Structure 1
Amino acid sequence: MTDKPQAPAPQPLDSVEDGTASTLGAEAVAAFLRANPDFFVEQEDLLVSLRLPHQRGDTVSLVERQMKVLRERNIEMRHRLSHLMDVARDNDRLFDKTRRLILDILDAGSLEEVVIAVEDSLRQEFQVPFVSLILFSDIATPVGRWVSSGEAHQAIGALLSGGKPVSGTLRDHELDFLFGEEQRKQVGSTAVATLSHQGLHGVLAIGSRDPQHYKSSVGTLFLNYIAEVLGRVVPRFTSSLRSVR
């Protein structure tokens, strides 16, 4: 059995400038304790005799201080775990609602049934107050909302250029195009997903009265899934579509 390394001998005070001796000594002690975490196992008397300042001005033992720190860390970890569990449950519910909506879209027998399924599910199941599904075509279609490619590009070209879902606060003219002037005044934040598949182009937008609800960093994964499914199902019912680009 090899002997444990010994703490380095303290440096004489007269060899160090004023104000640096205690610092060097503390660094040496800290380095030794890091290298020998079980040092106090055989030094119980020393462990009990150590005292640390308390916030109230009293002193507590090192063991008491350590227990306090561990309790605080344990509480913090429980809070983090509870938050993660809440997020997981919310995602499970969101996934289940998305799955049911996608199945309804796939089972739809007409374009009208597709539009109804999307709008009813988002408003009732997802509890979204503002919903807008807009398809782009230069030929008018009686079902749903259709606008020309040029009009769409002029109004929300910035939202379409990236081809990826966006969320956050939009400009007034973008909100006017998506939700109309009356509803625009009530929309605080928005999430928008583009539809783009084999000649079909459009947008699916949802809005909240809360300006912080759809932050710029919020995930739009499920909304994008719905938009991708729409992009593949809608062309079954119409072929009079033209690219917005």
Structure 2
Amino acid sequence: MIEKQQEYIEPTELTEDIVAQFLTDHPDFFQKHPELLNRIKVDTPERGVVSLVEVQVNKLRGRIGELEEEITQLMSLAAQNDCLFHEFSSIQKQLLLSENFSQAVAIIEKKAIELNLTAHIKIVEHSHPKYHVEQSALDNFVKKFLNGHSAYLGRLRKTDRDSLFAYGGLDLSSSDLGSFAILPLGASSKPMGIIAFASRDGGHFQPNMGTLFLEQLVSVFHYLLTQWSKLDNE
């Protein structure tokens, strides 16, 4: 009887990649061999050579610190939102009690001053030059900055500011100084005008900020404008 010779298999060279792949494929390896955790040493720039357990503990501590900071920021944001909610709820009530355009504008401008801002209300073909904006200037702004969005937040160059806020100008000495929150009155694609809040602080209004309360305020003001327009036409 002839015996079959066993095929010789050359052992595979153990490399770092093979070890890494093995540990990836077997994530419970160290659970089955916990005695290895303290024997594995990692060279860190902060503390020198430490055990793998210490590395994991330090990473967890760092992550806990990051989460605590995020929670603190969220709590601060919640407090700010609560304050803004009461501020804008109050002004909306005042607007609904106003009897005409002049009263409503005075309410908005007063509140802006209290918030260390400047309010600018611009309506196409308004009879008063302070509140008038050219249709071409409004169309250009809508196309360039709104593009279907409900608001624009950020800086404006001097040329864009001058065309939109022609009357009286803005007391901003630098061409890019200051930041704005600008919302359309009516549909963003074809508004009848805009309401803008300007800050001398270039970082006050930023694109990632929420505009829910401002949008509600502008909606109330736009509704009142349409109602007063109907009365004027009767």
Contact 2:195–2:218 (8 Å) recurs in 1: yes
Q: Does 1:136 align with 2:124?
A: yes
Q: Percent identity?
A: 22
* Distance across 2 between alignment mates of 1:37 and 1:84: 37
Distance 1:29 1:136, change over 3 A: closer
Q: Does 1:120 align with 2:110?
A: yes
Structure 2 portions without partners, runs of 5+: 1-8
Aligned partner letter, 1:70: L
Kindly provide the CA deviation profile for residues 202-233 of structure 1, in whole angstroms up to 9, marking residues without a partner as x. 21111111222223443333222211111111
* Distance across 2 between alignment mates of 1:88 and 1:223: 17
Query: Which of 207, 219, 222 pairs up with 1:228?
Result: 219
- The CA deviation at 1:76 is 0.9
Aligned partner letter, 1:127: N
Contact 2:116–2:199 (8 Å) recurs in 1: no
- The CA deviation at 1:105 is 0.2
SS at match of 1:167: strand
Distance 1:233 1:165, change over 3 A: same
Query: Which of 111, 118, 134 pairs up with 2:101?
Result: 111
Residue 29 of structure 1 is matched in structure 2 by 23
SS at match of 2:196: strand
SS at match of 1:213: coil
SS at match of 2:221: helix
- The CA deviation at 1:30 is 3.7
Kindly provide the CA deviation profile for residues 38-93 of structure 1, in whole angstroms up to 9, marking residues without a partner as x. 324xx34x333332223257322222222111111110111111111112221111
SS at match of 2:210: coil
Kindly provide the CA deviation profile for residues 103-151 of structure 1, in whole angstroms up to 9, marking residues without a partner as x. 1100113332211111111221x331x211123336x26xx9442xxx5
Distance 1:135 1:39, change over 3 A: same
SS at match of 2:186: strand
Contact 1:165–1:194 (8 Å) recurs in 2: yes
Residue 32 of structure 2 is matched in structure 1 by 39
Structure 1 portions without partners, runs of 5+: 1-10
Distance 1:167 1:158, change over 3 A: farther
Contact 1:159–1:166 (8 Å) recurs in 2: no
- The CA deviation at 1:35 is 4.0
TM-score of the aligned structures, taking structure 2 as reference length: 0.76
Distance 1:174 1:240, change over 3 A: farther
SS at match of 1:134: strand
Aligned CA-pair RMSD = 3.1
Of 153-162 and 70-79, more deviation after overlay is shown by 153-162
Residue 64 of structure 2 is matched in structure 1 by 74
